[in-house]
Amino acid sequence: MRHHDLLPPTSPRPGPRSRAVFAAAALAGVCLTATGCADGGGPGAAGAESAARPPSSAPPGAPDASPSPSRGPLTGRTVVVDPGHNPGNRDHTREINSQVDIGTGRKECDTTGTATDAGYPEARFTLDVSRRLRTLLEEQGAEVVLTQDDDRPYGPCVDERARIGNEKKADAVVSVHADGSATGNRGFHVILPAAVNGGGADTSEIVAPSRDLGVRIAGSFGRATGSAPSDYIGDGTGLDTRGDLGGLNLSTVPKVFIECGNMRDPKDAALLTSASWRQKAALGIAGGIEGYLTR
């Protein structure tokens, strides 16, 4: 992820119960719609929208009749899922180019993110995986908050993304992304917050728990997807520590980013545009979160 907050617009394994829960879900081919596990989620396909919640059947003005959260190992825990970027960012270049305080300096509010060579946008990928992840975590009893659900014209800005997790006092925050590196670079990596203390940023309380969260997600993600850790970042560990990202610098709760693969490499792009692989990605992230929260 060399592009996040930068580009201009254009480990202990989970316990037996955790493994059983997510293995069973994988074997059952958990899908969020009847077509949710069909491949071919690229441009023009329904893959990015397949994980959206069905519209409410309540009459206008009536309270939302959403089902009560399931009870499970994550009951009472709050997880914030941050789908990187926003599909509408490209239409709001002035707004996302505005500078915001990231604690150690100022950067653009947000970016458009990257895309595959065929044009499948990172913002659509992250939204799809995040919706799938929300469903899996809610099935385990967690309260899940998305920082955006394609329900706002752009953003939120990176400082607001951090603030959402802070205000919810989240037990864990995961920002979902895909990288835009050079062709030939492959694999996933998890970005951890560096020790930062300056301006409005102080990560001293979250560095250790965020690392624990990130290590567990990296292990679970590799097992669920069959993907290898990045061969170009992290020295084969699948972990990268950074102090230049506002979403991490400004967080006061455990938080990591995951780069699920490199959208500019054809082999990784084939995975990222597969709806069935995106379900595995969501299972992997969910397994890591559950392992962390039930440790």
**Main-chain dihedrals φ then ψ at residue 169, nearest 5 degrees:** 50, 45
Look at strands 197-198 and 201-202 and give their pairing.
antiparallel
Determine the Cα–Cα distance for residues 76 and 158; give it in Å rounded to an integer.
27
143 is a catalytic site residue? no
Contact present, 82 and 161 (Cβ < 8 Å): yes
HSE-CB at 247 with a 13 A cutoff on CA atoms is: 31
Contact present, 177 and 262 (Cβ < 8 Å): no
Three-class secondary structure of residue 66 per DSSP: coil
Give the N- to C-terminal CA distance of the chain in Å, as an integer.
29
Per-residue exposure over 36-56, b if at least 16 CB sit within 10 Å of its own CB, e if not: bbbeebbeebebbbbbeeeee
Q: 167 CB contacts (<8 Å, ≥6 apart)?
A: none
| Residue from 108, 122, 160, 259 carrying the catalytic annotation | 259
- Residue 35, judged by CB atoms within 10 A of its CB (0-12, 13-18, 19+), counts as middle
**Which residues does the annotation mark as catalytic?**
259
